[in-house]
Amino acid sequence: MSLTREAVLAELKTLKDPASGSDIVASGLVRALNVEGGDVRFVMEIDPSQSNAMQAVKAEAEEKLNALAGVDRVAIVMTAHEVKAPPPDLQARRPAQQQGPQKIPGVDRILAIASGKGGVGKSTLSANLAVALAAEGRKVGLLDADVYGPSQPRMLGVSGRPASPDGKTILPMRNHGVTMMSIGLMTREEEAVVWRGPMLMGALQQMLNQVQWGALDVLIVDLPPGTGDVQMTLAQKAELTGAVVVSTPQDIALLDARKGIDMFNKLGTPIVGMVENMSTHICSKCGHEEHVFGHGGVAAEAEKLGVPLLGEIPLDIDIRMAADGGAPLVASKPASPQAQAFRKLAKTLIDNGHA
């Protein structure tokens, strides 16, 4: 008989929440439960003051579930509730209590790929840039931090679930010369991730610090669009080399890009430069060049902000089809002019000491 969600919940209901005395399901500690085949995954969202007691509950949950018929693997992520801050003291500033940004062992540089809005091709650029840097001889990692819309498993042609040799560390996947980790490897492709801020932050920190990245020259982080929890957590918890801001040339995209740049400035993250994506389109039949979204807007914005324009990437159907097919254009058609645009971007980042 195959493993069912009901059987897992029944087993979890035998465990008590030390704070409330009720079972951990009734008390709301079990979140985002996913039962697929023999894999069981869920999040335990706890009160930080109960962390020691909840470690024991987590261990007991793992033991009980691993003994359940049909279970092959159990993955439990434990994260904390947001703690309500005390009333602000308007007379004095208290020193920050949280730990500052930390280096990831073995990782030389961390480069965040960001955009102010969705739909500007940030993830496609991240995948091609990672492969291009690997082609230039760099040891490259790619962290898909776009938790709500993880696309890197599809773009890099990676499937299957990462292994964990000891139940604590995670072995990343690898393809096209790039070491990769994504929350998309933990969920079904059509499954929505319904997580709040604290759960997002906990998952991101685990992917940063519990994945065996090995020795990397650069870790590319594909961020979600906008200015939210993931961007703030990354800047506050990891020592970033800097951020690359991706935008299309039109004014509405640049408006949101400015907000992203302002956020990184407030967080103290250096802006490495800007990339104009979908910069130009060349007709495959007649060779006519057309600037579908306008042209030069990102270059003008970069000059205004005093940051480099790192590259201009064309709008081309081959880039899209290669990404959908699981082999970024830099890997599938390395000699094409479009792939060479990504190689040029990679060389610029290396020459500038950012990758």
pLDDT band at 196 (very low <50, low <70, confident <90, very high): low
On whether residue 98 sits in a domain, the answer given is no
Residues 148 and 278 in one domain: yes
The β-bridge partners of 31 are: 43
96 phi/psi in degrees, rounded to 5: -65, 140
pLDDT at 148: 80
Q: Which two tokens stand for residue 222?
A: 């594909």
pLDDT at 99: 63
pLDDT at 166: 79
Residues 154 and 279 in one domain: yes
Cα–Cα dist 50/163, whole Å: 29
Q: What is the CATH number of the domain that holds 70?
A: 3.30.300.130
For 97-119, write each residue's pLDDT tens digit: 456 788 899 999 999 999 988 88
Q: Considering all CA atoms of the chain, what is the largest pairwise distance in Å, rounded to the nearest integer? A: 73
Q: Kindly give, in sequence order, each residue whose CB lies less than 8 Å from that of residue 182, ignoring residues fewer than 6 positions away.
A: 143, 144, 150, 152, 153, 158
Q: Which two tokens stand for residue 212?
A: 């065996």
Q: What is the CATH number of the domain that holds 196?
A: 3.40.50.300
On whether residue 88 sits in a domain, the answer given is no
**How confident is the model over 333-343, as a mean pLDDT?**
94
Provide the angle, in degrees to the nearest 10, between the axes of the packed helices 51-66 and 5-12: 140
> By percentage, how much of the chain surpasses pLDDT 90?
41
On whether residue 92 sits in a domain, the answer given is no
48 phi/psi in degrees, rounded to 5: -60, -25
Residues 163 and 215 in one domain: yes
Q: Give the residue numbers spanning the domain of 225.
A: 107-351
CB-based contact 112:242 (threshold 8 Å): yes
Which sign does the torsion angle of CA 234, 192, 226, 221 carry?
Answer: positive
Residue 89 clears pLDDT 70, i.e. is over it? no
Domain end point (choices 65, 80, 95): 80
On whether residue 37 sits in a domain, the answer given is yes
Mean pLDDT lowest among 123-127, 142-146, 166-170, 233-237: 166-170
Residues 176 and 283 in one domain: yes
Residues 118 and 75 in one domain: no
Q: Which two tokens stand for residue 209?
A: 């610090």
299 closest CA partner among 350, 247, 351, 261: 247
Residues 131 and 76 in one domain: no
**How confident is the model over 167-187, as a mean pLDDT?**
89
On whether residue 217 sits in a domain, the answer given is yes
Residues 120 and 42 in one domain: no
pLDDT at 348: 96
282 phi/psi in degrees, rounded to 5: -110, 120
Residues 163 and 294 in one domain: yes
On whether residue 91 sits in a domain, the answer given is no
Domain end point (choices 63, 80, 97): 80
Long-range contacts of 120-123 (CB under 8 A, 24+ apart): 120/225, 120/246, 120/247, 120/248, 120/253, 120/277, 120/278, 121/246, 121/248, 121/277, 121/278, 121/313, 122/222, 122/223, 122/225, 122/246, 122/277, 123/151, 123/152, 123/155, 123/222
DSSP H or E run through 321: helix 317-324
CB-based contact 143:222 (threshold 8 Å): yes
For 58-81, write each residue's pLDDT tens digit: 889 999 999 988 888 888 877 754
Measured CA to CA in angstroms, residue 242 lies from 8, 49, 126, 132, 269 at distances of 43, 34, 14, 19, 6
Measured CA to CA in angstroms, residue 258 lies from 46, 263, 291 at distances of 36, 9, 22
On whether residue 85 sits in a domain, the answer given is no
Residue 92 clears pLDDT 70, i.e. is over it? no
**How confident is the model over 173-197, as a mean pLDDT?**
81
pLDDT band at 341 (very low <50, low <70, confident <90, very high): very high
126 closest CA partner among 284, 346, 347: 346
On whether residue 101 sits in a domain, the answer given is no
pLDDT band at 90 (very low <50, low <70, confident <90, very high): very low
Strands (E) across the chain are located at 30-36, 39-46, 73-80, 107-114, 140-144, 173-175, 178-182, 216-222, 242-247, 271-276, 281-282, 289-290, 309-312
pLDDT at 86: 37
Residues 72 and 113 in one domain: no
Q: Kindly give, in sequence order, each residue whose CB lies less than 8 Å from that of residue 307, ignoring residues fewer than 6 positions away.
A: 261, 271, 272, 273, 274
**How confident is the model over 310-326, as a mean pLDDT?**
93
DSSP 330-348: HHHSTTSHHHHHHHHHHHH
* Total of domains in the chain: 2
**How confident is the model over 259-265, as a mean pLDDT?**
89
**How confident is the model over 258-269, as a mean pLDDT?**
89
CB-based contact 182:153 (threshold 8 Å): yes
Query: What is the model's pTM?
Result: 0.71
Residue 7 clears pLDDT 80, i.e. is over it? yes
**How confident is the model over 17-40, as a mean pLDDT?**
83
Residues 206 and 243 in one domain: yes
Residues 176 and 306 in one domain: yes
CB-based contact 158:175 (threshold 8 Å): yes
Residues 73 and 115 in one domain: no
